[in-house]
Amino acid sequence: MALLRIRTYPDRVLREKARDVSNITGDLQHLIDDMVETMYAAPGVGLAAPQVGISQNLLVIDVNSREEKRHPLISLVNPVIMAAEGISEEEEGCLSLPDFKSMVERASRVFVKGFDREGKPVEIEADGLLAIALQHEIDHLRGKLILDKASPLKRSLYKKRIFKKGRAE
């Protein structure tokens, strides 16, 4: 297993709509293992393939606390939100947006379908942190960031800070 480089804003791959996975191979399973290792090392609770520069419809999530023995709770290939209900608003951060947090409104409950790392169909009903993480990572697969959900002022200030940092390096 290897640690992968997490892409950060404004990397273009973060804005692409990820391609569906048509065939689950050993290479894809190896990528899942590398993504899990990268997520834990970051540390984060979720990671989508575009965040490591791969425009494929794939995500990993583990919402267990860091004190517990962590294990990849979910790896999903070609996930789709089939139903959503309720509204919650929580502060979110993102590994691809260093030093940025914002309040984000999301559905409080979701029903998601996809495939596991072996290609078997998976259905997940989620609420709480898992519902938030699923929506956050599926947004990444659609080329959307929490930056898009922030106020125009907050978004503008972050973009200016990133632009200045990039010019200084």
Query: Among 86, 77, 68, which Cα is nearest to 127's?
Result: 86
Per the annotation, the verdict on 137 as an active-site residue is yes
Choosing from 37, 90, 137, 169, the catalytic residue is: 137
**CA–CA distance, 58 with 107 (Å, rounded to integer):** 21
- Give the residue from 111, 115, 113, 106 showing the smallest Cα distance to 86: 106
Which pair of structure tokens corresponds to residue 29?
């399973």
Alpha carbon 98 to its chain's center: 14
Please list the active-site residues. Answer: 137
